[in-house]
Amino acid sequence: MPGSPRADQGIGQGHPGRGDRLASAMVVPEPEPEEVVVSTKKQDAVASLGYDVFVNEAPPQDGVLPNGEPRVFSPMASTLIYGREDAVLTDPGMTLEQARVLGDWVAEKGKNLTDIFVTHGHGDHWFAAGMLAERFGARVVAGAGTIAEMGRNLAMRSVLWDKVYAGLIPPSPVTAVTVPDNRFTVEGHDLVIVEVGPTDTVDSTVLHVPDLDLVVAGDVIYNGVHMFLAQGALVGGFGPWREAIDTVAALRPRLIVAGHQNKQLDEDAERTIAETRQYLDDADELLKTAPAAVDFFLAKIERYPGYLGRTVLWAGASALYGARGQAGEDLGKALLSGWF
């Protein structure tokens, strides 16, 4: 079945670039021109901190898209940020199977998992949080806006998530807590929750790890995967999302882990930021010229033939076109129509 999880998926060694990235994060050499003078303190800090990414494959799903291809959800990335002993995991995924393979990957690292951080409230990023929190005895952490949105996604399980992925999603009580000043740490290294406002959902955050020049971006920045555009129908376009991208860019990260990514690609911040902006610009242009959702869908595929996650593209396009002139219950139906 396309997209069904495999036992060997997402393991670090299988990814071109993953090993390099991890090594440079761990060992640091690769001096950058502007960092010729690096303080001893910073070197020590970076040498004791590393990260790795696990990309979980999409769960199995029924149905076809308007072009006849099978519906497949987007790959989902979780980041493990670790010191010598402790570690923090981000966006732990949605299904029982995803939690199982992600949990095995985390266990292989042999670290003490202290916290699980969730970037935003969409169920695909956290429905499995409870399972992993229990397995590793970890706390679940999120921003206040994310916790509110988690509650709304939980309330929508029966009309959306459990309809699409029947029987695959574990119980998902909202147990996340906020942390003072939106900051927590792994072995003394700052992990900063940055509130960036609406993107593909109501309230988004990213996790800034200054000692790694890294931003774990959730759905604020995408990487080789179609973006979920439906929220634009509710907030009058993509202006707020562009502001969120500007906020991430202002952190001046060197590396960005996108929540939805093609695992063959690197994590260059400049490229992923530029491509995410371009995708929104293209969407604005196509919304003026493409007469219907299906035209928008096909035009995006033509412009981005290698992008993964066409089910999410279709869901977003259906919402953007279906929501035109709708209000109340009809608007709610229009926003969900493309998922089935």
What are the residues binding Zn ion (CB under 5 A)?
122, 124, 219
Cβ count within 10 A of residue 302? 8
Q: Give the whole-angstrom CA distance, residue 5 versus residue 102.
A: 11
Q: How far is the CB of 92 from Zn ion (least distance, A)?
A: 12
Residue 232's Cβ-side half-sphere holds a number of Cα atoms within 13 Å equal to 23
Which one, 97 or 219, has the nearer CB to Zn ion?
219
Instruction: Supply the minimum distance, in Å, between the C-beta of residue 164 and Zn ion.
Output: 14
**332: Cβ contacts below 8 Å, ≥ 6 apart:** none
Residue 108: name the closest of 27, 173, 12, 202 by CA: 12
In angstroms, the CA 178 to CA 180 distance is: 7
- Residue nearest Zn ion by beta-carbon distance: 219
Kindly tell me which of 106 and 220 has the beta carbon lying closer to Zn ion.
220
Here the tokens at position 203 are: 């309230």
Q: Which is nearer to Zn ion, 50 or 224 (CB)?
A: 224
**Cβ closer to Zn ion: 57 or 211?**
57
Q: What is the rounded CA–CA span in Å between residue 233 and residue 201?
A: 11
Cα–Cα distance for residue pair 54/179, rounded to 1 Å: 25
Cβ of residue 138: shortest distance to Zn ion, in angstroms?
Answer: 21
CB of 122 to Zn ion, least distance (A): 5
Smallest distance from Zn ion to CB 154, Å: 16
* Per-residue tokens: 209: 């790890």
Residue type, 49: L
* Phi and psi at residue 304, to the nearest 5°: -130, 65
CA-CA distance, 284 to 289, in Å (whole number)? 9
Q: Which is nearer to Zn ion, 182 or 199 (CB)?
A: 199
Query: What would the two tokens of residue 48 be?
Result: 């004791």
Specify the residue, 95 or 114, whose C-beta has the smaller distance to Zn ion: 95
- Euclidean distance between the first and final Cα of the chain, in Å? 18
- Residue 254, Cβ density class (10 Å: 0-12 exposed, 13-18 middle, ≥19 buried): middle
* Cβ closest to Zn ion, residue 45 vs residue 142: 142
Decide if 317 contacts 141 (C-beta within 8 A): no
Q: What is the largest CA-CA distance in the chain?
A: 60
CB closer to Zn ion out of 45 and 128: 128
Q: CB of residue 23 vs Zn ion: minimum separation in angstroms?
A: 29
- How far apart are CB 225 and Zn ion at their closest, in Å? 9
* Residue at 133: amino acid letter: A
- Minimum CB separation of residue 95 from Zn ion in Å reads 14
